[in-house]
Structure 1
Amino acid sequence: MRCTSTPSGEPSFVDKQSAARGYAVAAGKTVLQRKLLPALDFMLHDWLKVSDLTSRQRFEEHSRETFDELMSAASDVAADRFEPAYRISDEQEPYAVDGGVVTPQETHLAFQAYRDLGILAASHDADFGGMQLPRTVDLATRVIFGASGHNLAPFLLTDANASLLLEHGTEMQKRVFAVPELEFRWTGTMCLSESQAGSSLADITTVARGDGEDYATDSLGPRYRLTGNKMWISAAEHDLTENIIHLVLAKIVREDGTVDPSTKGISLFIVPKVLVDEDSRLLERNDVTLVSLNHKLGHHGTPNTALAFGDGTHTPRGAGGAIGYLVGEAGDGLRQMFHMMNAARIEIGLAAASLGMAGYATALDYAKDRRQGRPRTQGAKNPSRPQVPIIEHADVKRMLLAQKAYAEGGTALALYAARLLDDQMTGTPAQAERASMLLDILTPVVKSWPSEWCLESNSLAIQVLGGAGYTRDWPVEMYWRDQRLNMIHEGTHGIQGLDLLGRKVRVDGGAHLDALGLEIRSTVGAAERAGMKAEAAALARAWDQLLDATERAWATEDPSEALANATPYLQGFGHVVAAWIHLDLAVAAAGSDHSEAPGRTAAMKYFFAYELPRIGAWFDVAARREPLCRDVLPEHL
């Protein structure tokens, strides 16, 4: 592993890890990569059977060998470029100069290595430069990069940006804007939030006025001038690419000068940082201005910004306002943006699980080497006896098992969602319908469960390292800081709970909930046949508790009563889903000679013994429609 130094001359994280810990192993893989690859291999092949997808026309040019080669190549790039850049970009935060953002050289090297690998467009059509790779394998590579350089991962929002344009844009917009993004020559952002609106998008004040010039309906789409401010924009105004494509929500000003105050008045616009022609050639600077950088608890490596659109800093084509091109129909912006957001929610869950994996790998490696104390059976207070590795102590094993269950369970859950995306796109009509229903009900859980419990996993990693974990000599404190944002990203837990209990479990008379129940009962049956009768029975009981809580929460059909405890309901629901995933993994491991098989069983047993019993308290407050949080007076808080 290449070592670097900080500008102050102090040893960098990479120096310390390489010299003091032997972080790079003889086989050329770091401790993290050695932990990730076997776990992902089991999930992809022994559990999700991704090689079966190669029988479908879209994936017929692939094989297990191509999947494995890609995973190995991703791991090499992650170890060589992303891991060193991770700590350096955390310590040397991007900074603003002359209206732009400067990032460290190591970020540039990581970015270039990822571009050279050519996998940003891996899951897309060959017509757009893609490899037509299954999403399951594509997202597995992102586990590797998310664990190795999490604060660089938001640049990969470019894929979600381009995917939206491929779904809703014109052929010209796809070619001019999406293709350069998929080539990673340009990057993309999503611009939703405003300081005064937050998650209440009906309250946004950014507006778009039809451009009165001859270019008003040019070949790139209906042309507008946007004015307003956006907040919390990740990966904007950086120096890594020559252009950045902003997707901006705004309300169109009507002829009488008013706007529709509801979400039905929101439209979506392509607002490039630099204007381009029909051949994607750069023209003049658009009126998009960096207002400030937001200095966050974590994610230091990715610039997070406040942007002004149309503040007059630049006046493209002789008029005020940032030039933007309408995507699709006016008033359809929120629906289009949620196409991007739903995909992003799965990737947030995956990113959270990735950070959990990184912390777990570090804590596990530390616990194997760190010696302290003696087993009570061997004279715990006898100093003449040698100290033992702390991994021998029961409470350390408990913390490591918890991390394993959270991180690997979260990773498996997100990859299961990716497998559903593949079925939704390429399966039979029946497979596609099943996948759509399962994705609808599981997306709030895929986003929220890993982001909550892998935060706990990262906290436990600090605990395993003790005082060392609280220092910057080790990366676990950085993992925790970066992880904390995932509970907020793309919709808070409260929003996910309201979506799940308020809509998803009741869609089509509960049809999507029933679809999930069929999958869970199938696993229950398989577990019984595999000799896991106690766990099968426990999961069946947990599912019944979930159904009972759902019914009782809505017994009065009063949303204010049902949804007052939507977040505890979401927590219970998530733990039931996680128990199902762990049991399904254990069934796949039964009789397997894969190196990961014993660990799969251990993680499942931990989850059923220590975690699944928690659901009673969560479901209880939802089932009895506990009114406290709804009715408590603000002055009593």
Structure 2
Amino acid sequence: MTQRATLDFLLYDWLKADALCQRSRHAEHSRETFDAVLDLGEKIAAEQFAPFNRLTDVQEPEFDGERVHLPAETPKALQAFIASGLIAGAQDAEVGGMQLPTVVEMAAMSFFFKASVSLAGYPMLTRGNANTILAHGTPKQIDVFAKPSFEGRTFGTMCLSEPQAGSSLSDIATKAVPDTASEAHGATPWQQDPLGPRFRLKGNKMWISGGEHEMGDNIVHLVLAKIPGEDGKTIPGVKGISLFIVPRKLVEADGTITPQRNDVSLAGLNHKCGYRGTVNTLLNFGEGKFPVHGQAGAVGYLIGKPGEGLKCMFTLMNEARIGVGLGATMLGYAGFEASLAYAKDRPQGRPMTAAGKDAASPQIPIIHHTDVKRMLMMQKAVAEGGLALAMLCAQLVDDEQTGSEAEAEKARLLLELLTPIAKSWPSEWALEANSQAIQVLGGAGYTRDFPVEQYWRDNRLNMIHEGTHGIQGMDLLGRKVIMNGGKALAVLAERISETIQKAGQAEGLALHANALAGALQKVGATTKAAWSTAQPEEALANATLYLQAFGHTVLAWIWLELALAAKAAQAEGQWDKSPLGDGFLKGKLAAADYFFGYELPKIDAWLTVVARRDLTCARVEADWF
């Protein structure tokens, strides 16, 4: 109930999402339809996802040498999600979508991430895969590969990493050569295939979530590979990377899925600490296990232009990064709710008062102990703040798509700047929130009798996949804050300054406004100091600390925004009749107080190291360890 109430507060009291119905793309919607979508998402997540979260954790995917076996509940849950139509919620009607605002689609998705993040990974990847084809594919590729995914008939993946390359995509070795061999078997010339220029791919990919299973009619892989030149050599670096659609089963030009397997084979499964319900694979492309027309080589179709593969794939990667951040947030939210319920029910100890010294007096629920309140408040500030961050990014997508020209440009810049924060901040701090949830439960939290240990294990992956913390820090400080002469940073500073001005005139928020103003000034000054020598190795030596400080400043801004919204709602009295009572809004204000009192001050230590371009770690030699 508290998550739904918080979503209502974020969508309507803060972001005014119902005003999006005034835009032509969403004109057929209203708050009532938005609420119906949220009701549906909450119901399906509670009934079809949450009951099987532990099952998918203990009953991991198995490979018998021929097929991957999943719990029977996995396809059942995903079919319930597909039947709801939410997988294409924000898409145009012409591709089977509801034309919902992205912010409403993301709000509905939050229920599924909280109920079972590993099950929710399948539709998240499939949607991102289809959106990438929609953005960069030809009309025929959209009809044949994207629309079936939006209909829920096929699933999708992203195939980037390789065993020898990892996050260093410039070093991928998978190759794609023109498929002239198939022409001898009656196929159209490789350049003239209706599905796009046809290639044969050979190489190995790993860490591929959803890479092999028997659900749906097909799996559509988006694969990064390099096209060799006439000399047989590939272009070094990312400029030589192209993107290909590689279906698990071959597809005819009219969209018919054939029984013929493409030459994509499962090399093995990865067995992870968490996210165990999402099958994670190593895939071999073109090893000859499933030869096509008698020859090895996986058949793939070029999407976009040669050499622009990474640019196209970033459509999926950026969407996935925001999705990872939301998933991390909701794991933090799940841990918060579990530890809150435990703290209200678990009696232990007595109050630190004269009466509490009487050993014969009854014990009190641990929620009345100050340190437990601190741990719960930390979780609340992270979970609700992270959810607000995700909703803000989703609404920026809406503004970029349907706002005025000026709104769209500012939204684009702000979204590009905030994407590394939307991915990394919840990944780090919701993980810490999960740790605090375990601490609230004490020894019980460290057992499998309670779910909080699983939430921590699931969340630990989120600092790694879709770009590690270090990569996000270098992206933020090395590119995002300085691109276009710092234009995106200026847009953010303008938004924050507007909030500071409003809060400075609001009762009880002036101190927070001053603290945020100081933080914004420090971030700006540190950004200049880091780049003052124009030496990237100095500027980026402590990029992760900059990422942490920048993220905390953004979340302080968001919490000040939420505090203003809470005070406005108090003045209007619209929450007075809520079953949650006035404690709901007071809790929002208390969480803002917590963030400014306990979290924001941490940025001083982080930024000091960045500003002095400390090279302590950079200068350490390998043999010093």
Name the counterpart of 1:623.
611
Name the counterpart of 1:193.
161
Give the letter for the 1:144 counterpart: F
Pairing 1:205-284 to 2, within 5 Å after superposition: 205-212=173-180, 213-214=182-183, 215=188, 216=190, 217-283=192-258, 284=260
Pairing 1:445-456 to 2, within 5 Å after superposition: 445-456=421-432
Name the counterpart of 1:42.
9
Name the counterpart of 2:447.
471
Name the counterpart of 1:606.
594
Distance 1:376 1:627 in 2: 47
Distance 2:49 2:335 in 1: 16
Distance 1:378 1:445 in 2: 47
Identity of aligned pairs, percent?
54
Q: In the alignment, does 2:403 pair up with 1:406?
A: no
Q: Which runs of 5+ in 2 are unaligned?
A: none
Question: Residue 150 of structure 2: which of 182, 189, 207 is its match?
Answer: 182
Query: What SS class does the counterpart of residue 76 from structure 2 fall into?
Result: helix
Pairing 1:12-161 to 2, within 5 Å after superposition: 34-156=1-123, 157-161=125-129
Contact 1:367 1:464 in 2 (8 A): yes
Query: What SS class does the counterpart of residue 377 from structure 1 fall into?
Result: coil
Question: Residue 432 of structure 1: which of 408, 431, 438 is its match?
Answer: 408
Distance 1:264 1:275 in 2: 29
Contact 1:235 1:302 in 2 (8 A): yes
Q: Which runs of 5+ in 1 are unaligned?
A: 1-33
Q: In the alignment, does 2:565 pair up with 1:588?
A: yes
Contact 1:121 1:131 in 2 (8 A): yes
Query: What SS class does the counterpart of residue 111 from structure 1 fall into?
Result: helix
Instruction: After TM superposition, give the deviation of residue 151 of structure 1 in Å.
Output: 1.2
Question: Residue 572 of structure 1: which of 549, 559, 564 is its match?
Answer: 549
Give the TM-score of the pair, scaled to structure 2: 0.95
Distance 1:378 1:221 in 2: 79
Query: What SS class does the counterpart of residue 225 from structure 2 fall into?
Result: strand
Contact 1:252 1:266 in 2 (8 A): yes
Show CA shifts across 1:108-132 (max 9, x none). 2211110111110010110000001
Name the counterpart of 2:536.
559
Query: What SS class does the counterpart of residue 533 from structure 2 fall into?
Result: coil
Give the letter for the 2:195 counterpart: L
Instruction: After TM superposition, give the deviation of residue 39 of structure 1 in Å.
Output: 1.0
Contact 2:176 2:199 in 1 (8 A): yes
Instruction: After TM superposition, give the deviation of residue 383 of structure 1 in Å.
Output: 2.7
278-287 or 465-474: bigger deviation = 278-287
Name the counterpart of 1:167.
135
Name the counterpart of 1:301.
277
554-563 or 371-380: bigger deviation = 371-380
Query: What SS class does the counterpart of residue 318 from structure 1 fall into?
Result: coil
Show CA shifts across 1:474-505 (max 9, x none). 11000000000000111011111111111111
Instruction: After TM superposition, give the deviation of residue 206 of structure 1 in Å.
Output: 0.5
Give the letter for the 1:511 counterpart: K
Distance 1:139 1:127 in 2: 21
Give the letter for the 1:476 counterpart: V
Distance 2:153 2:363 in 1: 54
Pairing 1:474-493 to 2, within 5 Å after superposition: 474-493=450-469
Query: What SS class does the counterpart of residue 380 from structure 1 fall into?
Result: helix
Instruction: After TM superposition, give the deviation of residue 277 of structure 1 in Å.
Output: 1.1
Give the letter for the 1:363 counterpart: S
Contact 1:111 1:240 in 2 (8 A): no
Show CA shifts across 1:114-171 (max 9, x none). 0111110010110000001000000111111000011112102100000000010010
Query: What SS class does the counterpart of residue 618 from structure 2 fall into?
Result: helix
Give the letter for the 2:598 counterpart: Y
Contact 2:289 2:296 in 1 (8 A): no
Contact 1:524 1:536 in 2 (8 A): yes
RMSD: 1.0
Instruction: After TM superposition, give the deviation of residue 378 of structure 1 in Å.
Output: 4.7
Contact 1:553 1:561 in 2 (8 A): yes
Instruction: After TM superposition, give the deviation of residue 328 of structure 1 in Å.
Output: 1.3
Query: What SS class does the counterpart of residue 133 from structure 1 fall into?
Result: coil
Distance 1:468 1:35 in 2: 24
Distance 2:321 2:567 in 1: 32
Query: What SS class does the counterpart of residue 415 from structure 1 fall into?
Result: helix
Distance 1:305 1:207 in 2: 20
Question: Residue 394 of structure 2: which of 418, 435, 438 is its match?
Answer: 418
Instruction: After TM superposition, give the deviation of residue 36 of structure 1 in Å.
Output: 1.4
Contact 1:160 1:340 in 2 (8 A): yes
Distance 2:65 2:36 in 1: 43
Distance 1:474 1:197 in 2: 38
Instruction: After TM superposition, give the deviation of residue 510 of structure 1 in Å.
Output: 1.0
Distance 1:401 1:571 in 2: 20
Give the letter for the 1:545 counterpart: K
Q: In the alignment, does 2:526 pair up with 1:549?
A: yes
Give the letter for the 1:480 counterpart: W
Pairing 1:480-559 to 2, within 5 Å after superposition: 480-531=456-507, 532-559=509-536
Distance 1:281 1:567 in 2: 48
Give the letter for the 2:229 counterpart: R
Q: How many residues align?
A: 604
Instruction: After TM superposition, give the deviation of residue 381 of structure 1 in Å.
Output: 4.1
Distance 2:257 2:278 in 1: 24
